[in-house]
Amino acid sequence: MERKYLLGNEAIAHACIEAGVDFVSGYPGTPSSEVVDVLRTQPERSYYLEWSVNEKVALENALAAAWCGIRALCTMKHVGLNVAADPLMTSAYTEVTGGLVILSADDPFAHSSQNEQDTRCYAHFARIPCLDPASVQEAHDMIPAAFALSEEFGLSVIFRPTTRICHSKGDVTLGAVVPSTRKGEFHKDPSQYVVIPSHTRILHKKLNEKQPAIKKRLVELGYNRFEIRGKTAIIASGIAASYVQELLPAGVSFMQIGAYPIDEEWLGAFVSGHEKVLVIEELAPEVEDVVRQVAGCVPVFGKKNGHGSYEGELSPQAVAAILVKAGFLATNPFVQQDPVQNLPLRPPILCAGCLHRSAAYAIKKVFRDAIYPSDIGCYTLGLQLGVVDTTICMGASITVASGIAHSGEPRDVLCTIGDSTFLHTGIQGLLNAVYNGANMTVVILDNRITAMTGHQPNPNTGITACGVESPPVSIDALCRACGVQFVETVDSFDTTGMVHVLEQAKKRKGVKVIIAKQMCVISARRAGIKRGKYQVDTETCTGCGNCIRFGCPAIEFANDKAQINDLCSGCAVCVQLCPVSAIGKEGKK
Cβ 382 vs Cβ 388: under 8 Å: yes
Q: How far is the CB of 423 from other proteins (least distance, A)?
A: 20
The span from the CA of 267 to the CA of 235, in Å, is 10
The span from the CA of 330 to the CA of 332, in Å, is 7
CA distances from 484 to 309, 431, 439 (A): 48, 9, 11
The span from the CA of 112 to the CA of 201, in Å, is 40
Q: How far is the CB of 315 from other proteins (least distance, A)?
A: 5
Q: Which of 192, 180, 204, 273 is nearest to 235 (CA)?
A: 273
- Binding residues (CB under 8 A) for other proteins: these are 3-5, 7, 30-31, 34, 111-112, 136, 164, 166-171, 239, 242-243, 245-247, 315-317, 320, 333-340, 343-351, 378, 381, 384, 452-453, 548-549, 551-553, 555-557
Residue whose CB is less far from other proteins, 47 or 379: 379
Residue whose CB is less far from other proteins, 355 or 442: 355
Residue whose CB is less far from other proteins, 347 or 410: 347
Q: How far is the CB of 366 from other proteins (least distance, A)?
A: 21
Residue whose CB is less far from other proteins, 285 or 316: 316
Residue whose CB is less far from other proteins, 165 or 505: 165
Q: How far is the CB of 235 from other proteins (least distance, A)?
A: 17
Q: List residues bridging with 157 in a β-sheet.
A: 101
Q: List residues bridging with 512 in a β-sheet.
A: 441, 486
Residue whose CB is less far from other proteins, 78 or 167: 167
Q: How far is the CB of 521 from other proteins (least distance, A)?
A: 11
Order of all β-strands in the sheet with 157-159: 48-51, 23-26, 72-77, 100-105, 157-159, 130-131, 259-260
What type of residue sits at position 490?
A: V
Q: How far is the CB of 239 from other proteins (least distance, A)?
A: 7
The span from the CA of 499 to the CA of 52, in Å, is 34
Instruction: Specify burial of residue 339 (Cβ count, 10 A radius: 0-12, 13-18, 19+).
Output: exposed
Backbone phi and psi for residue 116, each to the nearest 5 degrees, phi listed first: -120, 35
Cβ 473 vs Cβ 444: under 8 Å: no
Q: How far is the CB of 469 from other proteins (least distance, A)?
A: 27
Q: Which of 165, 7, 144, 158 is nearest to 76 (CA)?
A: 158
Q: How far is the CB of 392 from other proteins (least distance, A)?
A: 17
Residue whose CB is less far from other proteins, 198 or 559: 559
Residue whose CB is less far from other proteins, 129 or 161: 161
The span from the CA of 12 to the CA of 56, in Å, is 22
Q: List residues bridging with 280 in a β-sheet.
A: 236
The span from the CA of 301 to the CA of 257, in Å, is 16
